[in-house]
Amino acid sequence: MSASIIRFDYQGQPVRFNAEGWLHATEIAARFGREPSMWLRQPDTVGYLAALARALGVEIKSSILEELSKINDLDSSKASTQAKLLRLSKATGLVKTKAGAPETGGGTWLHPKLAVAFARWLSQDFAVWCDLHIDDLLHGTQTPTKSAMQALDEAIAAMEADKAIASRCGMALARWKKSRKQHIKAVETATRRAQLLLGF
């Protein structure tokens, strides 16, 4: 896990990812009055982690695989079972913990492919927000410091600048006709994201 931590804001609160897209689950769960271990101790979560680990080709010890195959037979109301489920969650390699305070990067970190599933457990609105930002982070389409409003302002400014040039010059008009759809799409995309992120 990289030491580089990237911060986004969700409703004025920090949401941190590392450079590979791992979500700082401890920090975000606290804002919803929860702890990541609550989610990681659920049999459905552990089953999902095991399936995702298989799909991603993560190597898991055969003894752990055997235990994972029997999770549905466990009584999840028992403390010993919950401890076992938590241990199995971490054994998938998709959950990492780091000692220290959350402010300094300590806590539970989740693989990028788990971020949306975890976010759904916390809040549907946060799940949508998280999905958009994970995608942007992994594909490099939006920098973490650029807000949704900045992206919208930039898309509108680029469109208006090309439109102004187009009105003055025939060649620019031809270029405007070619780029018009791209600008409109960029403005529409930025508008939808701004609406999702800012709640309007």
* Chain segment 76-96, per-residue pLDDT in tens: 788 888 888 888 888 888 999
Q: What is the mean pLDDT of residues 108-131?
A: 86
Q: Exposed, middle or buried, 197 (CB in 10 Å: 0-12/13-18/19+)? A: buried
Q: Nearest CA to 39 among 163, 124, 122? A: 122
The rounded mean pLDDT for the chain is 79
Q: What is the largest CA-CA distance in the chain?
A: 75
pLDDT attached to residue 102: 72
Note the pTM of the prediction, 2 decimals.
0.60
Query: How would you list the strands of the sheet with 13-18, edge to edge?
Result: 5-10, 13-18, 23-24, 107-110, 95-98
- Average pLDDT score over residue span 116-131: 85
What pLDDT is attached to residue 145?
Answer: 47
Domain boundaries defined on the chain: 5-139, 148-198
Mean pLDDT over 13-40 rounds to 83
* pLDDT of 167 higher than 70: yes
